[in-house]
Chain A
Amino acid sequence: MSKRKMENIRLPVGECISQVQEMLRERLCRQKLPDRPEGVEAQHKHLLELLKRTAVHGESNSVLIVGPRGAGKTMLLKCVLRDLQEEKEAHKNLLQVHLNGLLQTDDRIALKEITRQLHLENAVGDKVFGSFAENLAFLLEALKKGDRSSSRPALFVLDEFDLFAHHKNQTLLYNLLDVSQSAQAPIAVVGLTCRLVSPASAAHAAVNAGDVTAFSFTQDVLELLEKRVKSRFSHRQIHLLSNPTFAQYLLRVRTQLSLPGHFPDGEFAVEWNAGVEALCEDKSAEDALRRHFNSSKDFRSMHMLLMLCLSRVSAAKPAITAADLLEASRLSFADAKANMLHGLSILELCLVIAMKHLNDVYEGQPFNLQMVHNEFKKFLQRKSNSMYKFEQPVILKAFEHLQQLEFIRPVDSSLAKTQKEYQLMRLMLDHSQIMEALQKYPQCPTDVKQWAMSAFG
C-alpha cells in the first residue's frame, strides 16, 4: 500500500468511467480473485491446510472439489494457491501441473502435457517407456531435490475431473492416485468437477431440494471411477453447495459493484458506491434481482447480469441505475424462441399454426408437409381469401426454412429415403409459445389469429 496520503485528486468523468469499466470488467469478465473469498471460509481453510501439508511436510493427498457450474470452484482453488505462495517454503518447493479434461482428452496427451509443465522435455528426450506408470515414475524421479534424498512435492490439478474418468482404463487417474497412496513421491491431486447428481437420482435430489446435505447427493462422479481407482482415492471432498439467502445475494451484488478504496479519484468512488447502495435498496431493482436469485444463485449468471448493466454506463451517464438493471434483466430472461418466431413470414406462421392444430387433433403424432398443407387449405377454403393461395413448391420452401431453424425436426434422421414432402416431422414448439408469439407478431391478420385460437382448425 502506498504510504502517501490520499490526495484529493479529481479526474474528469470520462477518465473515471474508463477506470471503473476496467476495474469492474476485471472482476466480472476476467473473474479476478477477491481478496477474501466470501461464504467459503471453511472450505478455503480446509483446502489450504491440505495443500500446505503436501508442500511443506511432503504428505501425499487427494481431494475432490465438487460444486455446480459457476459455484466458484476454480476461484476457491486459485485463492488457496495464491495464499499458499505466501508461505516461503511452499513457494520454493511446490511444483504445479494444471490439466483440463476439455483439453487433455486422452492419457497420452495428458502425459505430454505433464512432461511439459514440469519442464522435463529434455530429461525425457527420446526415451520410450513401456507403460504409463514407468513414464510417470521417471518424471517424479527426475523431480528429486538437489541432495537426492526426496522428491519435490507436486500438485496436480485436474479440471473437469469427470472427463478424465472417460479415458481408456482411467490410466492417468489410476497412476496419479496410486502415487498419492504409496510413498513414491509427495503429490497432491486436486480434482474439480460439477458432476453432482446422476440423471437417475435427479428425481431423488429434487425431492430433497430444500434440505440439502452432503449425504443425500449421490456422488455420481465417484460412480464413474473404476473400483481400483476409487479405492486409491481418499474420498476427501470439498463441497461448494452454498445456498445463499437473498440478503447474502444482495450483499454479493453490492460488493461486486463497489469500487475499492484505492481508486484514484476518491470522491468519485464514494459517489459511485453510494449509487450502488441506493440501487440495491431500490424496490424495482430488488424485484429484478429476486427474479434472478430464484432462477439461479451462482456467481456466473450474476456476473453476466452485472456485465449487461455495466455496458450501459458511459461518461454521459456515470452510474448504474435501476432502469439499467431492469433492462439487463429483461434481456436475460428474453425467450429466444419467441424472438425467432417474431421474424417468420406470414406463410411460415400459418404453417406453424396448422402444425399446432394437427398436434392438438392427433395428440402429438408426427406429421409431414402434405398433411400440413391440407390443414392450411382447410383454413383457406373457409375464408375464401386468395391472398394466401400459394403453390406447393412455395409452401415447401417455407417448410424447409422452418426445418433449418430447427422449429421442426425429422422423426428419424434417414435423410434420403423418403421424398421431402412425405418425411415425418415433429414440432419443437409448444402451444403456449405459439400463442404468445401470435400476440406479439407485427400486424398479424385477425383471421390468422382467429384460426389459431379456434379449437377445431
Chain B
Amino acid sequence: MSSLVQHPGHEGERLQRVSDQLPCREVQAGTLLSLMGQPHQYSYPSIFIYGHRSSGKSHVMHVLLKELELPHAPVSCVECVSVALLFEQVLLSFFGADAASLLPRSPSLSDFVRVYRNQCSQCPAEQTRYIVMEKAELLRDAEANLLPALLRLQELVEDNVTVILLSEIVWDKFRPNTGCFEPLLLHFPDYSKGELQQILSHDRHPSYSAEFYSSYINILLGVFYSVCRDLRELRHLAALNFSKFCEPVVEGKVKETDTHKLWRNVEPHLKKAMRTVYLREVSSLQWEQMQQMEEKESGALRGTNTH
C-alpha cells in the first residue's frame, strides 16, 4: 500500500496537506486514493463507504476532493427530499446553473440521464467526476429505481463518473430484492482510545501546555469512553468542560502537574454532564450558565462544603 504522500497524478505538496488534515485516517485515505487512481483514469462505477458516525467518512472525502481539486458534486440525502433537488445539485456542480435549468418541472430519472448525456457530449470529463452522497440510507426510501440506477450511473450516462455512497448502515440492508450492481465496499473503522486521545489533543488551548490538555482528555475519556465513542460528541464535551477543569489552576489552588487533585475536581462535574448535556437535557448555553452560577455560589459560600 503506497504511502499517502506519494500518488501519481497528484502533487506531493497537496498530498502532504491532505495528510495533515487527516490524522489517524491515512490508511483509509490512501486506499481511497489508490482506488480513485489518476484523475483521467476510470474508477469503479460505485463505491460504498460505511462506518460509525464521526468516523471520518465525509471528512476524508471532502478533504481529498477539495485539496486535490477534483470535480465533485456533494449531495446530502437529508436535504434532497425530492429527486429533483438531487438531480439539480449534480448538474449544477458539474455543468453549471444553465444545465440545471434544463431539467423539466418534475424531472424523472430519464430526464436527468438525458440532460447529463447532452451536457457531457458538450463537455466531456477530463477527470473522473465524483458524486458523494451522504446519509445514503435515505435513498432506500426514495423510488425503487433510484438506487440501482445511481449505482450504474457510469454505464447509463457513458461518462467518467463515480458515485460514492456514505452511510452508517451496512450494505446488506440496501440491496434490492432483484439485485443490483454491487458497489465496492470500504469500511472506515472506529477510532481506538489512543487515536481518540490523539485527535482530541489537537484542540488544545494555546495558553496551556500540551501535557495539561492531554491529561484533561485522559480524564474525559475515562469518564465517557465506556458510554460514547463518537468523536463529535467527545469534542463537544471537551470544549464545554475545559474551563471547569482549569478552574483550580486559574485560582492558583493547584499546580498544572497535580493530576490527582485536578481529577478530583472535575470528575463529579463530568458525571453531571453525562446526565444533562450529553443527553441534551440542557443545551450547551444553559450548561455554561449553570457553570457560571456554580462558580458564583462557591465564591459566595466560601468555607462551606458545597458538593
Residues of A within 8 A of B (CB): 14, 17-18, 21-22, 25-26, 28-31, 68-70, 74, 100-105, 109, 112-113, 116, 162-163, 194-195, 300-301, 304, 307-308, 311-312, 314-317, 331-332, 334, 336-337, 339-340, 342-347, 387-388, 390-391, 393-394, 397-398, 404-406, 442-443
Contacts and interface: CB of A to CB of B under 8 A. Distances in A.
B170 A388 contact: no
B2 A314 contact: yes
Given A195-B178, A334-B187, A311 B170 contact: no
B109 A311 contact: no
Contacts of A343: 51-52, 55, 189-190, 229
B245 interface: no
Contacts, number: 150
Contact of A25 (B41, B171, B227): B41
A334 B51 CA distance: 13
B65 interface: no
Given A340-B52, A345-B226, A391-B275, A21 B281 contact: no
A68 B275 CA distance: 54
Contacts of A442: 192-193
Given A308-B184, A311-B31, A406-B173, A17 B8 contact: yes
B182 interface: yes
B45 A29 contact: yes
A340 B181 contact: no
B227 A347 contact: yes
A103 B50 CA distance: 27
Contact of B34 (A314, A331, A443): A314
B225 A29 contact: no
Contact of A393 (B145, B168, B279): B279
A304 B44 contact: yes
B52 A105 contact: no
B110 to A, nearest CB: 4
A347 to B, nearest CB: 5
Contacts of B250: none
A163 B279 contact: no
Interface in B165-197: 168-173, 178-182, 184-185, 187, 189-190, 192-193
A18 B8 CA distance: 8
A47 B227 CA distance: 62
B1 interface: yes
B182 A301 contact: yes
Contacts of B145: 101-103, 105, 163
Residue picked from A74, A102, A334, most chain B C-beta under 10 Å: A102
A342 B227 contact: no
Contacts of A345: 225-229
A311 B38 contact: no
B170 to A, nearest CB: 4
Given A26-B42, A314-B2, A336-B172, A342 B190 contact: yes
Residue picked from B43, B170, B179, most chain A C-beta under 10 Å: B170
Contact of B44 (A29, A195, A443): A29
Nearest to A116: B114
A404 B230 CA distance: 14
Interface stretch (B12-20, B148-156, B199-207, B291-299): B148-156
Interface in B113-147: 113-114, 143, 145
B8 A405 contact: no
B7 to A, nearest CB: 8
B8 A103 contact: no
Contacts of A390: 227, 274
Contacts of B78: none
Contacts of A195: 178
A209 B281 CA distance: 58
B162 to A, nearest CB: 9
Contacts of A387: 226
Contacts of A194: 178-179
A394 B110 contact: no
Interface in B25-45: 31, 34-35, 37-38, 41-45
Contacts of B178: 162, 194-195
A340 B44 CA distance: 24
Given A69-B179, A307-B44, A343-B229, A394 B275 contact: yes
B179 A316 contact: no
29 contacts: A14-B8, A18-B8, A25-B41, A29-B45, A29-B154, A103-B110, A103-B113, A103-B149, A103-B156, A105-B110, A307-B44, A311-B35, A314-B2, A314-B6, A314-B34, A316-B2, A317-B2, A334-B185, A336-B171, A344-B229, A345-B227, A345-B228, A347-B226, A391-B275, A393-B279, A394-B279, A397-B279, A442-B193, A443-B193
Contacts of A74: 155
A406 B52 CA distance: 12
B183 to A, nearest CB: 9
B169 A405 contact: yes
Given A103-B109, A104-B110, 15 more contacts: A17-B8, A21-B37, A25-B37, A25-B42, A29-B45, A102-B148, A103-B145, A194-B179, A314-B8, A334-B187, A336-B172, A340-B52, A340-B170, A347-B226, A397-B279
Nearest to A332: B185
Nearest to B147: A102
Contacts of B8: 14, 17-18, 314-315
Contact of B168 (A102, A394, A405): A405
A366 B1 CA distance: 46
A313 to B, nearest CB: 8
Contacts of B149: 102-103
B124 to A, nearest CB: 14
A81 to B, nearest CB: 14
A301 B190 CA distance: 27
A345 B191 CA distance: 11
B141 to A, nearest CB: 12
B184 A312 contact: no
B87 interface: no
B278 interface: yes
Given A18-B38, A336-B171, A113 B44 contact: no
A443 B194 CA distance: 12
